[in-house]
Structure 1
Amino acid sequence: MGDLFDTGSDTEVPAGYRPLADRLRPRTLAEVIGQRQVLGPEAPLTVMLASGALSSLVLWGPPGVGKTTIARLLAHETDLHFVQISAIFTGVPDLRKVFEAAKIRRQNGQGTLLFVDEIHRFNKAQQDGFLPHMEDGTILLVGATTENPSFELNAAVLSRAQVLVLERLGTEDLERLALRAEAELDRALPLDTDARTALLQMADGDGRALLNLIEQVAAWKTDATLDTAALTKRLMKRAAQYDKGGDSHYNLISALHKSVRGSDPDAALYWFARMLEGGEDPRYLARRITRMAVEDIGLADPQAQAVCLQSWQTYERLGSPEGELALAQAVAYLALAPKSNAAYVAYKGARRAAKETGSEPPPKHILNAPTAMMKDQGYGDGYAYDHDAEDGFSGQNYFPDGMDRPQLYQPVERGFERDLKKRLDYFTRLRDKRET
């Protein structure tokens, strides 16, 4: 099993065809394109290597941004033996063999950099198995993950490793990679300027995907310069990176929610469309959109909830893809609606007050007294029937005896809540008048 995973620096590359991505693999960290936030002059990896104190790492980022390459180069820079495993294919017996080989290597004076791809796929017990070997120096762990480490990795592992965030490659980075590929191929790609831009966009920030696309384009036997239409006819666009159960899901719904809250219909519709294009369930979006109406618009526009529920019902009747338009209309409506979280804040305040006051009973004057014994106990004694009071308002206290009256609901001067604020102020003045 060890030979399957052990890819030390002495391994010879077999003769024959090598993919372009493999041929262009950087030989030094200085050749890595992008990731200046971890490889720049004052960035973490540069400082660690300069001080000779490389710690265990977790490289977190999307596919195709150099996680494996950086791990290999770190082993080369530090003269550590490089061992690569994948959490998908590695079980506990395999890990034992890897650790035993690393112990023997350490006894012979050589350290081991263990690169674990998809480390988040190991369960808690498997992750805990790394700890003693990290602590005694048997291995220097470098894990790679596309998922948020704070959610997927054990706290014990995270406390012994530094998390470095790798970012998707920007357009300039992808263009540099394309130029490097053309130099390796010794010919320019047969694309005009717009088609070249379209090719970079197809890669969607993934360097490995771009090199695979370039390899396909370079293999076409054509003397003509292709435009965007010809390119897209021959080459399918790469699917957008979106995991309905992962970070992309939560990041995009957060972007949609905050765009609605920020009254930006264009941005809200963009993120809504991004989620649909990624394969998100429109019913999930319908539920979250309705939540936005409740949380961020509230009583500033009570109609907003009805619009969301109607759009949801329309989607259920029409189905996809026609029904998504109703949801899009709801998104635009919410973005342009007056905003208030006053009811939401009041609700949370009421929940806190309820927890703090525990089992305090209501004041006796607002309790019903269906039996003589309850009347004798004072139930209902002194209750003022509001319809009989001046202005239809008694101003009585409805909170538990001895509890300071909280001011929970504070409507804003926007939308329908402007009218509600006038009503609240009116009743506050009457209550003060009754009390005096």
Structure 2
Amino acid sequence: MRMVDVIQKKRNGKELTKEEINFFIEGYTIGEIPDYQASALMMAIYFNGMKSNETATLTQAMVESGETIDLSAIEGHKVDKHSTGGVGDKTTFIVGPLVASVGVPVAKMSGRGLGHTGGTLDKLESIKGFHIEMTKEEFVNNVNTHKLSVAGQTGNLAPADKKLYALRDVTATVDSIPLIAGSIMSKKLASGADGIVLDVKTGSGAFMKKLEDSESLAREMVNIGNNLGRNTVAVISDMNQPLGFEVGNANEVREACQVLQGENIEDLRLLSLELASHMTVLAGAFEDFDSAYKTLEQNLQNGKAFESFRTLVKAQGGDVSVIDDLTKLPQSKYHIEVTAEQDGYVSEIDAESIGVAAMYLGAGRATKDDQINHGVGITLKKKVGDQVTKGEVLVVLHSDDEEPTNSIEKINEAYSLSKEVREKHQLIYKVIN
């Protein structure tokens, strides 16, 4: 078999066989197929797409290119959640404890963030003493004992995806739905969960800006998961403004704890309940979504979900007093108010600009070697649909720089005011299962 023939076949819009896809992934992973031929195939896929069975085969080949995590020693039906990324997205800290509170095991393998804020692991490390490095035996024991554990990704998961993503990033082939879907799902499938709930974001702060593109990506990923034997559900949710009111690291953990303690931060609470309900239904803990939602909502109010989070923190070496007294979380030196320049209603908040403003403060990484500042971040005081008067506070910047000029400029770019009231964005657009 020759790589040039595989490239030509896809260039001409034909379907690749399992043997051809495996030949490519195996050869590229070990270095026998050069970057220039892999680039040519990526571009052919970008223009001609792939059928669902092709994408599933590509994903499986990427899974098999490296190690897979065997979680068979964990008792019960294991479920996982994945978000395609957003600004202020701290649902993991609510969803995991919620699901664990009804006895469903959540074995969460997460990474660090590269972008506007830290990743799940970075945010958890805002809690003094919390450690995410552990042996597989410790990880499995924590899940079996407490129904919840969060650890750093270990091993060589889907190395073909790592190589291909780096190549796509420099050859303008990142935004291909089959390639995005295969990239996300290869890592999820290699991580060993039995069921997967996907939170697919749409809007200004999402990778997919248009609803139709988000839906296409969601359907592709659900097809991959189900074709490869994992029950998969996708929830398409709004990212036209940050989720909740906090963007950063320690302040996002604080906001998640507030929801776990019963506070009604509406969009964050509702999305977390939606995702957790689908996860528990996939695991067989409830017969239907409505009964799951009702029980999980009760567990937010009666303290069971918060107690699950406390147990997670204690089990992984964290100082529980930090989440009992949220003022002990890291804080910045300065708190700088950015105010409205006119009267009106908030009509738009560009979530991506808010995220960039947070990164300028030090909440995220521009490169993988950058250090996260856990104490800095942004608190939104006004969201879409809110009325404001000139001089009223739109956001508070939590900064270690007394004059964070770049962040202030991005905040001013992010907010749009109008004379007419704007309806709030729909939070959940569609569920695909």
Taking structure 2 as the reference length, the TM-score comes to 0.25
Rg (Cα) greater in structure: 1
Considering fraction of residues, name the structure with more strand.
2
